[in-house]
Structure 1
Amino acid sequence: MAKVWIPSLLRGLTGGLAEVQADGVTVRQVIEDLDRRYPGIAARLIEADRDRLKPNLTLVVDGVNSKQGLRHPVSETSEIHFVPAMSGGCSTLRWHQREKRHVDTTAQHR
């Protein structure tokens, strides 16, 4: 069985477990197995059309950022991580607006 690391936001579906085991030869099959054990987890990982992972997740299989998504092959010894996107901080637009004001203010004092 593959080892699957569950993001903290989804651990309510796994009874708080951060690491679970699942069967399958592709990531899609692993998620389907997880959904049988932890109903609702597939809906949180896969877009409604079931063709790809949600865009806010990065898939890492055996330490490699996967570009194959749900089709990525896995083995019984694979480790799978669903890494949520990080957000926050200053947007580029706001930074440029502040920088422009700063430059304008500096130019007026010369």
Structure 2
Amino acid sequence: MTPVTRQEVLGLYRKIFRIAKKWQSTSGQIEETIKEKEYIKNEAKTLFRKNKNVTDPKLIKQCIEECEARIEIGLHYNIPYPRPIHLPPMGLAHKQGRMLRHQEKLRKISKPIYLKSHDEVS
């Protein structure tokens, strides 16, 4: 990891914790706010620790883009949780054969950038 990339990653990590510190839930309830703050912190710790040994510059760039996208979406919609995705049209296929492979490919393509590492952690 280059020093510039390292600073960018550490800057994102600090930014997430600053956001968590100031976070207010949309309901305004203290319990919800505390729960959402903890979720933000735990999600950041988990994903950053999972990706700390990544050395490929392309993968590092993808992780940075995913992090930035999740931050922007969370701030815009005021929800800390990732937005759900929907199956593409004809998303349910038979259990075997060419159609299944085609549907798996469609699902992989339709998965947004902000959820690339979410299923692997959850």
Same fold (TM > 0.5)? no
In terms of fraction of residues, the more helix-rich structure is 2
In terms of fraction of residues, the more strand-rich structure is 1
